[in-house]
Structure 1
């Protein structure tokens, strides 16, 4: 079935089995597990799935009979719903669990919850507020777990859809300058994206409020991979050389007090006037939800890619589920 989705020329020239087999039944915990070959295979499949959905061609026997457990200890809109939509479009079904309506309220441990849910499902999608919790859960699951975000740690499927978005919108990733703006300290999306971008030839620019810069360990890691990094004082300085503007919200839930949060707010806001400093080919991305960092007046600009980005996420997650769970033959 995976092969059937690819054009005949691609299927013949680049068999899917070596890469697909390497992801079959595997946990997706960190971007560090991916090779460039993995990314190409995932993105090629995501493009084909996107085309089939656009043409209203049926995909519902792809994962028919399979069940995905959606377990979110933190609230979510895009990640939770796009995974559910992805599974259902492929013919699978979804069961749900969260901490407010489950035995977590009775004191059940994460490990026990995962062991139980693994018995009900073929794949688990897990979000947890504690960094490293998803990896810990994977040690207690006999079914593959996909990391849907672990606190300020990683968000690997978001990084995949972010790079897929850049490819779809610009046509390439290599040679681009990507500017990350906002709460870079606590933003798991930028942490994972920055690490995954080491597979490409890119330049990274950072713009953030005081004390919310990219963590030093990530800066050092990227430097060890030869990535050129620049810290900029303002968006005005960064925009003229920016190909991809990646905005992030100031994460209120990560601050110890309302006062500290308010001090970090309002420094960097995308407006139509500000974007006159950027190229016509510059795209603006955001993992969403946005709060104040992108003016709604900018939504009609063709460079506003963030809602398309959210849709692309469904196709990437469809591809991942098909490769990890295994499509029906």
Structure 2
């Protein structure tokens, strides 16, 4: 089987690779170059999503189209694929590999992307695997931090909300270990704290972190507030969800107590944890962050298809 460049997890990237991707993403922001590269003419991307998505799926599909390729796929593969007939993920990937040049996979199971990569004849991009990882989201998060703050080294970054099931937090934490003098502040209810395996990795890499339930601890210390949704669909019971629901909400009052040089990020969608009144504040960077997803994913598709 031919070797391919897969995007499977955040730990696969070193700093040099990250900087190269960020430079490529910056190049992709030049709209005059869209649809002009003959390397992608006739190339086909399959988006295979077993879990719901708006931003990730559409930004990947837009990325492929902007590069000059084509897209096929399904937004509800759990219902509208042969999986409902009992077909394994591995067999699905073997078949779809014959139809396309690259596969973007979102799945409910942790480790699904790695399973797919073992049998695929084309590059696999992990677009989220259950409560595991979301490496392309972490890449656009880092790219956004660099654009908004002018640097990544030396920042204090507060991650707020559902840190147990929040795969974006896991991937971003892993990637931040590539940078110098980073401080991470994990702010969460007790029942959705950052997992021990993430903390263990940070300790191995020498990354400073602390944990708290107090939102106020982040407001004056962090240059980046990375707010996340309390993911009702991932909790084992409604009782556990209610313990965490509505604990941390960024509103006008919170804005008044934040650092003037800080930014607010959110992987989206939001579900009440950032009030609409915050949107007009220049520190609210989450819509700019979502737009950056297009550029990062264009850079990733380019890398995978030209490896």
Partner of 2:136: 157
- 1:139-150 alignment runs, 5 A limit: 139-150=118-129
1:304 aligns with 2:280: no
- Aligned pair count reads 301
Which residue among 142, 145, 148 is the counterpart of 1:166?
145
Compute the displacement of 1:258 (Å). 2.3
Compute the displacement of 1:262 (Å). 2.0
- Which runs of 5 or more structure 2 residues have no equivalent in the other structure? none
Compute the displacement of 1:277 (Å). 1.6
* C-alpha separation in 1, matches of 2:268 and 2:178: 25
Partner of 1:71: 48
Compute the displacement of 1:190 (Å). 0.3
* C-alpha separation in 2, matches of 1:230 and 1:104: 42
Partner of 1:134: 113
Which residue among 214, 227, 231 is the counterpart of 1:234?
214
* C-alpha separation in 1, matches of 2:165 and 2:213: 19
- 1:116-265 alignment runs, 5 A limit: 116-201=95-180, 202-265=182-245
CA contact (8 A) 2:26 2:295 kept: yes
* C-alpha separation in 2, matches of 1:60 and 1:108: 39
Partner of 1:80: 57
Compute the displacement of 1:59 (Å). 3.0
Partner of 1:102: 81
CA contact (8 A) 1:232 1:238 kept: no
Compute the displacement of 1:296 (Å). 0.7
CA contact (8 A) 1:180 1:207 kept: yes
Tell me the TM-score normalized by structure 1.
0.89
Compute the displacement of 1:99 (Å). 1.9
* C-alpha separation in 2, matches of 1:203 and 1:134: 30
* C-alpha separation in 2, matches of 1:297 and 1:119: 48
Partner of 1:90: 67
